[in-house]
Amino acid sequence: MNYTLRIAQEQDISVLKKIISESTRELSKRHYSEEQIELALESALGVDTQLIKDKTYFCIEDQDEIIACGGWSYRTTLFGNDNEKSRNATQLDPGSQAAKVRAFFVKPQYARQGLGSMLMKKCESEAIKLGYSKLELMATLPGVKLYEKHGFSGRGSVEYQLSDEVTITFVPMYKQI
């Protein structure tokens, strides 16, 4: 296939939200309950418009249709959408801190066709251009295999609180580049 990778724009946000919801609901259902998925889409997963403003979030298109998205960040926030309470837009120091890989999602019918790898290569090359030598991310369980394939190592798992009664398992991962 002849896919096109480009920088995400503000006018893409409504399409990105649909892709993120569709991807999460379909590709995560073997790992998480429906309740976990729906609560995660409210805060832990979704569009972070800071990445779009920073021009570090990308879309992959197939004949002008967005089929995947993902990016990286030079800011402190590790994951979450615009509703995440712990957002922090402080810029990172490339000499001592890791750039953040953020929010990879693929339309389910395009899963496992190399789109995540295409996004990862773009994010790594962009981070390297700005002087970063380390990357970190917070992986969902369905994403762990992709990140391991690209040299990331996990350090156990963490339970992220979605509500008073519900948590979701994520895996913090790191890589030297």
Q: What is the pLDDT of residues 115-169, one digit of tens each?
A: 999 999 999 999 999 999 999 999 999 999 999 999 999 989 999 999 999 999 9
Residue 75 DSSP one-character state = B
Q: What is the pLDDT of residue 135?
A: 98
- 3-class DSSP assignment, residue 136: strand
Pairing of strands 153-154, 158-161: unpaired
Instruction: Report the amino acid identity of residue 93.
Output: D
Out of 27-31, 42-46, 65-69, 171-175, pick the least confident: 42-46
SS3 at position 129: helix
The pLDDT mean for the chain works out to 96
pTM to 2 decimals?
0.94
Q: Are 162 and 40 in contact (CB under 8 A)?
A: yes
Write down the pLDDT at residue 40: 96
Which residues partner with 49 through β-bridges? Answer: none
Measured CA to CA in angstroms, residue 68 lies from 1, 16, 105, 130 at distances of 14, 8, 6, 24
Q: Would you place residue 28 in the very low, low, confident or very high pLDDT band (cuts 50, 70, 90)?
A: very high
Position 171 scores a pLDDT of 98
Judge whether 154 and 172 are in contact, CB under 8 Å.
yes
Per-residue pLDDT tens over the stretch 47-64: 999 999 999 999 999 999
Structure tokens at 169: 């398992």
Q: Where are the beta strands (DSSP E) in 65-155?
A: 65-73, 99-106, 134-140, 153-154
Angstrom CA distances, 45 to 2, 24, 160, stand at 28, 8, 12
Please count the other Cβ atoms lying within 10 Å of the Cβ belonging to residue 41.
Answer: 19
Q: What is the pLDDT of residue 85?
A: 76
φ and ψ at residue 91, rounded to 5 degrees: -75, 140
Write down the H helix ranges in the chain.
13-27, 34-42, 49-54, 115-129, 144-149
